[in-house]
Structure formats: C-alpha cells, structure tokens
A = this chain, B = another copy of it.
Amino acid sequence: MSPTTAARPRRADAARNRELLLRAAHAAFTERGVTASLDDVARAAGVGPGTLYRHFPTRDALVLAVIDDGLTDIHRLGTELLAAGDPLGAVREWLRAYIEQGAIYKGLAATLASPPSPADGAASTCDQARKAGAALIVRAVEKGVLRADVDPDDLLDMAAAITWVGEQPDRDPARCRRLLDVFVDGLRAPVS
C-alpha cells in the first residue's frame, strides 16, 4: 500500500529510486536505528543525497514511509478487534502490536508518539493507526472494563513510552511485555 505521506512519483526512474531508498533506509535503520546517516542511506541506495531529500524532505518522512505497511497493519488490526468482542483483550492485543511495531528500529518510539502531520492536512497512516487504538480504549472504558479516568491519549503515550524503555541499553523484550501487562492490569476497573 502506498503511503499517504508522500506523493507517488510519476516517472519510472523516480519510482524506482524511491523504492531503492526505502530498502536502503530499512537496512540502515535496522542496523543503526533511526538516527542512521542519511548520506549512508543515499549511498547504499546508489543515489545522490539530493534525490533522498527530494523524495523525503525530513528524516521523519522517510522513517514513516518505511514503516507505512506496518502501520497499516496496526490500523487494520484495530478495526478488526473493534468488530470482534472482548474489549479488554482487544486493548491488550492492540497495544502489544503497537509496541512491537515501535521496537523494530531503535529510536522509533518518539516518531510514533508524535508523528508529524502531513502538509496536505490528511491523517497520516500513523495517525490512523493511533485512532484505531484510541477507539478500542474508548470502548473498553464505556464497557466498564477499564477505569473511567483512563484517557486514550495518555494510554497511547504510555505505550510509546514502554517502547522507549525497550530502546534503552540492557532491557530485553520480556521487560516491555511485563511492563505492559502490569500497566494494563492497573488500569482495569475494580470489580465492585
């Protein structure tokens, strides 16, 4: 699926360069995190730095374009879970997927927490994904399985924050899963 954050190039060579850049960026981000040198990315893609900037005017634009498919998956998962039952389990499962998505590149948590709004005013894929998660949280609160004082944005921020914890040195993925479980558990409505 094509990202909503960047126009699809019309010329064949431009489309090809875009694809090469995305592949090179994925490799570089995987190895060195989202702060990887953009010069290196351009070199690995076999294009000049100017071409990279033409396709992706900011680092965040490149990062979000690279994970666009993943964010689409998160969005779809959210709508599917909303259609099914189990409001609390849905929140848990979606948050887990959101956190896992953030864990693929070091430094990604900040971009997920504050995705730059696209210039055209449309909602970015990241925004759409987060909205799907927020809808699940709202339902869980309305159904009375999450505490009434839970704010969807707060919960999304905390999920990104847990991803951030996983980016720190010497934290294993198990710690993030445990943090999420402990956290969601603490937000369950008391069975009064």
Contacts and interface: CB of A to CB of B under 8 A. Distances in A.
Contact of A187 (B109, B158, B186): B186
A157 B175 contact: yes
Contact of A168 (B114, B168, B187): B114
B114 A170 contact: yes
A162 B165 contact: no
A53 B154 CA distance: 40
Number of copies: 2
Interface in A33-82: none
Interface string A144-167: 000101110010011011101100
Interface stretch (A11-19, A121-129, A135-143, A177-185): A177-185
A165 B161 contact: yes
- Choose among A109, A158, A164, A187 the residue with the greatest number of B CB atoms under 10 Å from its CB: A164
Nearest to A151: B178
Given A161-B161, A182-B186, A182-B187, 13 more contacts: A113-B165, A113-B168, A114-B170, A147-B186, A149-B182, A154-B175, A154-B178, A154-B182, A157-B175, A158-B162, A158-B179, A183-B183, A186-B187
10 contacts: A110-B168, A113-B165, A114-B169, A147-B182, A147-B186, A151-B178, A154-B182, A158-B179, A182-B187, A183-B186
